Amino acid sequence: RSNAEKFEFQAEVSRLMDIIINSLYSNKDIFLRELISNASDALDKIRFLALTDKDVLGEGDTAKLEIQIKLDKAKKILSIRDRGIGMTKEDLIKNLGTIAKSGTSAFVEKMQSSGDLNLIGQFGVGFYSAYLVADYIEVISKHNDDIQHVWESKADGKFAVSEDTWNEPLGRGTEIRLHLRDEAGEYLEESKLKDLVKRYSEFINFPINLWASKEVETEVPAEEDESAEEETETTSTEEEKEEDAEEEDSEKKQKTKKVKETVYEWELLNDVKAIWLRSPKEVTEEEYTKFYHSLAKDFSDEKPMAWSHFNAEGDVEFKAVLYVPPKAAHDQYESYYNTNKANLKLYVRRVFISDEFDELLPKYLSFLKGLVDSDTLPLNVSREMLQQHSSLKTIKKKLIRKALDMIRKLAEEDPDEVHDDDKKDPVDEYLMQYLMDYEDKKFQNVSKEGLQVGKDSKVKEVKEAFKELTKWWKESLASENVDDVKISNRLADTPCVVVTSKFGWSANMERIMQSQTL
């Protein structure tokens, strides 16, 4: 195309795409849930913006927050379209050409050795899974702030972006056109797509519609030959009999026959009623498990260890579902230190607001996954304002209580499943960093410098007396071995002790971190 601008993929993306396109991985199905999940994210974004500015939604069909799936059997194209936020030219280049998230290269390595792509969505590279089934992809996108563009790539290390002058205008949103590989023909079957959406995208909160075929019988004028055998004129209802009578009356009787015809119409594939709005009594164990899988983007077969679904009433009203995952997330420790990453999704009156609210749970509970939907929080304010809202404190308090109840119950019912601080799942080290005091008494780490036990008036004196020795000691050990050498009053029988600095990691923490390194 004449106006196409060419780009090269970031090396890491190229490597990932190579692995995907050459993958013998059998579960290629996953691409659909990844694309639907992206469409849903994009719809969440525009719906959020619309809270403070209704005009962003546009008019007519453009304002419909939905996902549409269409098949073109002849051209072997599967397309997935949303009316979400869309992408500007810049977005297309940045989002579908580079990987912003860390940990991707570890994932690429792991995938190369294990060949398991199931976790791709958790690593922020789900889009590329489309190359499991397609060898050429076009992404047509229209963002409110830009004209319509087409991104395209054959997964050959390059992609191109052009101003779209030939496709039908989208209004707003994104259409992903997958030119399916020969061996991916099954994804041109409506039944296969229906099955996949039911299985993997059941909890998407926007309607997913399939342009589905339907066989209908229609009446068409019969041919001149009146003896046509197939002719079936059955008159069953009174009305039809009357009509027939009228027809008899008319001078020239028009004979008709029924023929089968294929027509297309949109068929809704999901039930958009949010699980957390239902009564806990009505939701089955299987539904909770499946909801967990979609929430955590964890599509293994494992069941969450425990969950708690409740409805808080009173001054601050909200509904919440909390889960204890079956195992630690791949980025558990990373997200622990990253303040912007919380594992709870916050909704206000069914509208997704953010999954980056670190105000909802204390860090020591950051391994939980879940969702909070509040009717009390205001809808038409910025995320920043919301973050300051006084109701959040109440929500947090109730969430902590419910979370601890859930864990306590789990410990009672299934003690083998809950590890304390033995050598297996070392949570104390993390917990103690944030647990500052207990009943007005401050905690101190005995393995760190500055331990204070009672008052010792002699310290000053001793310090002075050993000044030369500590100086000599410090110099002899050199700075890469120790930071400092100090007089301490903590020791009784031993002459010296090695401790860590006040704000650094303890030796145990270093051990934990080292064992986490991939």
**Site for Mg ion, rule CB under 5 A:** 38, 126
Q: Which is nearer to ligand ADP, 45 or 76 (CB)?
A: 45
Q: Is 96 in the site for ligand ADP (CB under 6 A)?
A: yes
Distance CA 501, CA 204 (A): 48
Distance of CA 382 to the CA centre of its chain: 22
Q: Which is nearer to Mg ion, 73 or 101 (CB)?
A: 101
Angle between helices 427-434 and 507-516 (to 10 degrees): 120
Shortest separation between residue 17's beta carbon and ligand ADP, angstroms: 11
Shortest separation between residue 509's beta carbon and ligand ADP, angstroms: 30
Q: Which is nearer to Mg ion, 293 or 389 (CB)?
A: 293
| 174 interacts with, out of Mg ion, ligand ADP, none, CB within 5 to 8 A per kind | ligand ADP
Q: Which residues contact 35 (CB under 8 A, 6 or more apart)?
A: 80, 126, 127, 130, 176
Q: How many CB atoms lie within 10 A of CB 284?
A: 8
Shortest separation between residue 356's beta carbon and Mg ion, angstroms: 16
Q: Which of 16, 32, 34, 208 binds ligand ADP (CB under 6 A)?
A: 34
Shortest separation between residue 99's beta carbon and Mg ion, angstroms: 12
Q: Which is nearer to ligand ADP, 151 or 288 (CB)?
A: 151
Q: Which residues contact 336 (CB under 8 A, 6 or more apart)?
A: 363, 366, 430
Distance CA 457, CA 475 (A): 28
Contact segment (CB under 6 A) with ligand ADP among 78-86, 106-114, 209-217, 390-398 equals 78-86
Note whether 159 and 57 are within 8 A (CB): no
Q: Is 212 in the site for ligand ADP (CB under 6 A)?
A: no
Q: Is 95 in the site for ligand ADP (CB under 6 A)?
A: yes
Q: Is 201 in the site for ligand ADP (CB under 6 A)?
A: no
Q: Is 40 in the site for ligand ADP (CB under 6 A)?
A: no
Shortest separation between residue 53's beta carbon and ligand ADP, angstroms: 18
Shortest separation between residue 487's beta carbon and ligand ADP, angstroms: 53
Q: Is 155 in the site for ligand ADP (CB under 6 A)?
A: no
Phi and psi at 425, nearest 5°, equal -115, 65
Q: Which two tokens stand for residue 66?
A: 């939905």
Secondary structure (DSSP) of 288-323? HHHHHHHHHT--SSPPPSEEEEEEE-SSS-EEEEEE
Q: Which is nearer to Mg ion, 9 or 127 (CB)?
A: 127
Could you give the angle at the alpha carbon of 40 between the alpha carbons of 37 and 45, nearest 5°? 130
Q: Which is nearer to Mg ion, 201 or 308 (CB)?
A: 201
Q: Which two tokens stand for residue 303?
A: 């069941």
Q: Which residues contact 90 (CB under 8 A, 6 or more apart)?
A: 146
Q: If we measure between CA atoms, which residue out of 116, 153, 161 comes closest to residue 135? A: 153
Q: Is 152 in the site for ligand ADP (CB under 6 A)?
A: no
Phi and psi at 241, nearest 5°, equal -60, -40
Distance of CA 183 to the CA centre of its chain: 29
Query: Residues in contact with ligand ADP, total (CB under 6 A)?
Result: 16
Task: Answer positive or negative: Cα dihedral of 398, 297, 358, 383.
Answer: negative
Strands lying side by side in the sheet with 208-221: 5-8, 158-163, 149-153, 134-142, 173-180, 77-82, 67-72, 208-221, 256-268
| 87 interacts with, out of Mg ion, ligand ADP, none, CB within 5 to 8 A per kind | ligand ADP
Q: Is 38 in the site for ligand ADP (CB under 6 A)?
A: yes
Q: Is 312 in the site for ligand ADP (CB under 6 A)?
A: no
Residue count of the chain: 518
Q: Which of 44, 66, 82, 152 binds ligand ADP (CB under 6 A)?
A: 82
Note whether 254 and 160 are within 8 A (CB): no
Distance CA 218, CA 169 (A): 34
Footprint on residues 109-138 left by ligand ADP (CB under 6 A): 124-127
Q: Which is nearer to ligand ADP, 124 or 426 (CB)?
A: 124
Shortest separation between residue 126's beta carbon and ligand ADP, angstroms: 3
Shortest separation between residue 78's beta carbon and ligand ADP, angstroms: 14
Q: Is 325 in the site for ligand ADP (CB under 6 A)?
A: no
The residues binding ligand ADP (CB under 6 A) are 34, 38-39, 41-42, 82, 84-85, 87, 95-96, 124-127, 174
